[in-house]
Amino acid sequence: MQLGILGKKVGMTQIFDTSGLAIPVTIIKAGPCLITQVQNTKTYRAIQLGFGEVADKHLTKPQLGHLKRTNSPPLKYLKEFKVDKIDSYSVGDIITVNNFQIGQLLQISGNSIGKGFAGYQKRHNFARGPMSHGSKNHREPGSIGAGTTPGRVYPGKKMAGHLGSKKTTVRNLELIHIDEQEHLLIIKGSVPGKAGNLLSIKSK
């Protein structure tokens, strides 16, 4: 496993290749990230990255104390990445988009867009009921119980409820372009969340 990077989604647009085809792309402002902790034990090797410098008042005292141990500035986001080799990293190093290469396949994780309360058809892709005149079950869930035995509804049954706003991972996204000056990654396709959403980016 290789070290990743944290970033924020800027938005989507399209670019044209040499043959004139339009390619939908997502622009991500990734890093620079600061290594705030290195964990190296027999069973666990990980690098903790910090991203997004903020004022002290936006962090709790335990968070500030954790960062001050390594003389790190107040950072809003902290995330650990498991790595195979830890020798080449040390606390205080800066991780930028230079760690990636054009054409690389990436795995990007983030919270999907929250869509509020949704019915069971929209949320779970269930089929609707008959639309004929006599039917009284068009979009209703219908029976949810299993009879006298067990006499209850099993936990986790697919029903109406909150849709979206959960961690989503998209794999095999191709890296089209890198802007080192502006710390931008241009990714082919879409990534989870809305503009401004925090993303975790690492190679496949």
Is 10 inside any structural domain? yes
pLDDT < 70: residue spans in the chain:
none
DSSP H helices in the chain: 61-68, 120-124
Is 145 inside any structural domain? no
Q: Which amino acid is at 71?
A: N
Is 82 inside any structural domain? yes
Is 143 inside any structural domain? no
User: What is the model's pLDDT at position 141?
Assistant: 85
| 110 vs 97: CA distance, rounded Å | 18
Structure tokens at 53: 């410098």
Q: What is the domain extent for residue 188?
A: 5-127+155-203
User: What is the model's pLDDT at position 41?
Assistant: 86
User: What is the model's pLDDT at position 109?
Assistant: 94
CATH number for the domain including 63? 2.40.30.10
Is 178 inside any structural domain? yes
Number of domains comprising the chain:
1
Please state, in angstroms and as integers, the Cα–Cα distance from residue 179 to each residue in 23, 97, 98, following that order.
Answer: 18, 8, 9
Is 70 inside any structural domain? yes
User: What is the model's pLDDT at position 143?
Assistant: 83
Is 147 inside any structural domain? no
User: What is the model's pLDDT at position 204?
Assistant: 74
Q: What is the pLDDT of residues 76-94, one digit of tens each?
A: 999 999 988 888 888 888 8
Q: What is the pLDDT of residues 28-51, one digit of tens each?
A: 999 899 999 998 888 888 999 999
Q: Which of 108, 116, 100, 94 is CA-nearest to residue 161?
A: 116
Is-above-0.85 flag for pTM? no
User: What is the model's pLDDT at position 2?
Assistant: 80
Is 133 inside any structural domain? no
